[in-house]
């Protein structure tokens, strides 16, 4: 068994896959629906942070999004998606629009990169 040298090795042993992260900044216009990230079934987690000055409304695409959704407050409001808690919503496409003006939403994603070593039993 190979030695564990870093967090990446620990995650691969625990879950049996390797992960990669991806970061982006998306400007969300007032009243205009904007895609925050596309459908991706390899996404296991995402954090969305509104760093702008206006509220952003978010929802998974195809959810009947007609100006309703989750409120992301300005100046640091955040939403976390985790596959263990949110299931397939984590991998869906998410859209947003600004209320009163444009805001910048930082998007942080964790994606399955590839199959890793065989999962090690007993690794928490």
- 51-91: pLDDT as tens digits: 999 999 999 987 666 667 899 999 999 999 999 999 999 99
Q: How many CA atoms lie within 13 A of 40 on its CB side?
A: 16
Domains and CATH numbers, the chain: 16-115 (2.60.120.770)
Number of H-type helices and E-type strands within the chain: 2, 8
pLDDT of residue 115: 65
Q: 3-state class of 11 per DSSP?
A: helix
- C-alpha–C-alpha distance, residues 59 and 28, integer Å: 13
Q: Flag whether pLDDT at 124 surpasses 70.
A: no
Contact between 14 and 123 (Cβ < 8 Å): yes
Looking at the DSSP bridge assignments, the partners of residue 25 are 106
pLDDT of residue 68: 78
Nearest to 114 by CA among 3, 15, 5: 15
Reported as a single tens digit per residue, the pLDDT across 29-39 is 997 889 999 99
Q: Flag whether pLDDT at 12 surpasses 90.
A: no
């Amino acid at each position: 068994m190979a030695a564990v040298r870093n967090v990446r090795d620990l995650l691969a042993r625990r879950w049996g896959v390797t992960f990669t992260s991806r970061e982006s900044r998306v400007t969300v216009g007032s009243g205009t629906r904007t895609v925050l990230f596309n459908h991706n079934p390899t996404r296991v987690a995402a954090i969305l942070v509104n760093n702008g000055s206006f509220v952003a409304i978010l929802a998974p695409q195809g959810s009947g999004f007609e100006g309703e959704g989750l409120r992301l407050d300005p100046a640091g409001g955040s939403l976390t998606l985790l596959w263990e808690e949110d299931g397939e919503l984590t991998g869906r496409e998410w859209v947003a629009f600004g209320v009163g003006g444009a805001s910048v939403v930082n998007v942080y994603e964790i994606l399955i990169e590839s199959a890793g070593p065989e999962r090690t039993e007993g690794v928490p």
